[in-house]
Structure formats: C-alpha cells, structure tokens
Structure 1
C-alpha cells in the first residue's frame, strides 16, 4: 500500500489524485458495494487509504484495462483475476485463428 500522509481524504482530493470527476467516484460508490467511504454527520465523504486503494483497483480495471462496470464487478468478485473474465473470448479467437490457418494451408496446397 502506498504511503499516505493523512487518515482521511475528501472526495475532491481523491478525484484529483486519480484525475477523475467527483461524480465518477459517487457513481462508482453506487455500483460497487465494497466502496463505502466514511461519512461525517453532515454527509461529507471521508476516504481512508483503504478506500483509495479500492479506487486505484477500479481505475486499473475500468480506465486502464477497459473493463465495463459489470466486468470490473466480476473481476473484483474473482479476487482481481480480471484475466479470467476474457477467457471465453480468447478461446473463441484462438479457434478462429486455428480455423483460418487451416483454411490458408488448404488454399496453398
């Protein structure tokens, strides 16, 4: 885990860390039950370093790897094994490649 200097961070500070809008963080909070920042009695969100690590994971899955919200949910439910989500698609592409290679060999003979 990264070295954090504070115990709590505001939503604007977290948004700035990841260069995202605060609305995206609020949306993710509604979509990912594991992301639940603490709230003051006034309702203001206070993100802990653990919350920030969860957001970092979401950034990696959604922004960097290009997963959808549903794909990111599956990846998190599979303990971050996002590689396994695309396995059916990869297997299908391998079958297509094998078929095309065989077709090319047949045409070349």
Structure 2
C-alpha cells in the first residue's frame, strides 16, 4: 500500500479498502483506537497510521470473518498488531495447546 499523502479523506480510504464510508464511521464508534483527525468543520482526515489500523480491521472482520466483538478481543489480546497474520498464528497456537490437553486426557 503506497501512502504518499499526509491526510486522506473518508471517501479515499473507503475506496482504498472497497468499503462504504458508513462502515468506517461505524468502526470509529466501536474501536476507540480508530480516531481520525477532524477539521474545524468536522471533516475526517485519516493519516497513514489510521489507514494501517483500518487495514487490520478489514483483515480481521472482512477477510477472516470475525465479528466486531471478535476483532475487539483479537486486538485486545494482541494489541494493535503490525502483522495481522500474527492473530491467525496465535489462534492456531491456542488450538494446538487445547488439542494437546485433550490428547493427554485421553491417555
């Protein structure tokens, strides 16, 4: 993702991720760490850091199929991961540990 500007409008960000602007507005209400700057007239201006946060949400919710609550838990557990794939790796490690406990219980 080539982000060469300092600020992006909500429509530019929505277009970048192929989502509706209403989804971005809703996510702002659900994820306190997503808080774009606003102009004096209340117009949202997203920074490249905001766009990275949105990329994580798109991956967790739209690509991985997590619910809003599931995405909140994943972010809470892992912080704001730089690499969204780390969420999947951590989930797989949790599953592996769970299966090992079950296996030991069968023996």
TM bracket (short chain): 0.7 to 0.9
Decide which structure has the larger Cα Rg and report it.
1
Correspondence for 1:53: 52
Q: Does 1:7 align with 2:12?
A: no
Kindly report which structure 2 residues correspond to 1:1-109, keeping only aligned pairs within 5 A, or say none: 2-77=1-76, 78-79=78-79, 80=81, 82-83=87-88, 84=90, 87=94, 91=98
Equivalent-residue separation in structure 2 for 1:3 and 1:23 (angstroms): 24
Equivalent-residue separation in structure 2 for 1:54 and 1:10 (angstroms): 15
Q: Structure 2 vs 1, CA of residues 85 and 32 (structure 1 numbering), >3 Å: closer, same or farther?
A: farther
Aligned length: 96
**TM-score of the superposition, structure 2-length normalised?**
0.76
Give unpaired runs (5+ residues) of structure 2: none
